[in-house]
Structure 1
Amino acid sequence: MKGAELIGRRVLDRDGTSVGHVHDLVFTQRGQDAPRFELVGLECGKAGLGDRLGYLRGSMAGPWPLPALFRWLGRHSLFVEWSQVRALHADRVELAVARVQLCPFREVSR
């Protein structure tokens, strides 16, 4: 499976409650001499565009309404650890945990 195939899939918690859609994949770098990247989680929620453009945690600036709008839209994004994924289906991602156990994406350190 390609990572891009996960983007846009519906995410359901263990009880079938909607968590939103996958907006981004979170990787960490392992090793220095021959670095490789490992998938550690997913950004899920209702809006993820602002983060991908660098408005939420980056230094991206622009016309004053854009950063505020993207921060407002992304305020409810959640982080799903890859270990919390129970099953992948063609149209959805099922989690092994309840939605309330997920942490806000803005609190995830990169």
Structure 2
Amino acid sequence: MNAVDLIGCQVVDPHGRTVGRVHDLVFRRTDEGDGVLPRFELMALECGKAGVGDRLGFMREAMAGPWPLTVLFRWLSRHARVVEWSEVTRVGPRRIEIGKPRELVHRSIDVLPA
């Protein structure tokens, strides 16, 4: 499976309710590897409406930018969700199923383990 296969997929909870479409992937660098190339592990899928503000870091609590941009980007991404990869139960063509109800899915990547 390639990352491009996940981007744009619809994410649904166990009740068939839409969580959102995958717009970004969250990776963590691991110490494992062959010593030449770094290795990365998929941690989460970012779903819902988000965009450049999230990619610039405005959704993270530690970000302190110009307050109008912070407010704007947070408002635009108010329905965004972060689905931990460990919650994924099935990956099909253009559809990803998770084992957690939509209302229990995180709204920030800050809650992911380091």
Q: Same fold (TM over 0.5)?
A: yes
- Do the aligned partners of residues 72 and 27 (structure 1) sit closer, same or farther apart at CA in structure 2, a change above 3 Å counting? same
Mapping of residues 84-95 of structure 1, within 5 Å: 84-95=87-98
Unmatched 5+ stretches in structure 1? none
- Residue 70 of structure 1 corresponds to 73
Deviating more after overlay: 27-36 vs 40-49: 27-36
- Residue 46 of structure 1 corresponds to 49
C-alpha contact (below 8 Å) 2:59/2:108 kept by paired residues = no
Mapping of residues 20-31 of structure 1, within 5 Å: 20-31=20-31
Shift of 1:53: 3.7
Unmatched 5+ stretches in structure 2? none
The one-letter code of the counterpart of 2:4 is A
Tell me, in whole angstroms, the C-alpha distance in 2 between the residues paired with 1:5 and 1:52.
20
- Do the aligned partners of residues 50 and 4 (structure 1) sit closer, same or farther apart at CA in structure 2, a change above 3 Å counting? farther
Shift of 1:68: 2.9
Tell me, in whole angstroms, the C-alpha distance in 2 between the residues paired with 1:102 and 1:31.
28
Give the TM-score, by structure 2 length: 0.76
Q: Percent identity?
A: 48
- Residue 40 of structure 2 corresponds to 37
Deviating more after overlay: 22-31 vs 33-42: 33-42
- Residue 83 of structure 2 corresponds to 80
The one-letter code of the counterpart of 1:94 is E
The one-letter code of the counterpart of 1:6 is L
Shift of 1:106: 5.0
Q: Given the alignment of the two structures, is residue 4 of structure 1 paired with residue 7 of structure 2, yes or no?
A: no
- Residue 14 of structure 1 corresponds to 14
Shift of 1:102: 1.2
Tell me, in whole angstroms, the C-alpha distance in 2 between the residues paired with 1:38 and 1:16.
27
Give the TM-score, by structure 1 length: 0.79
CA RMSD of aligned residues (A): 2.5
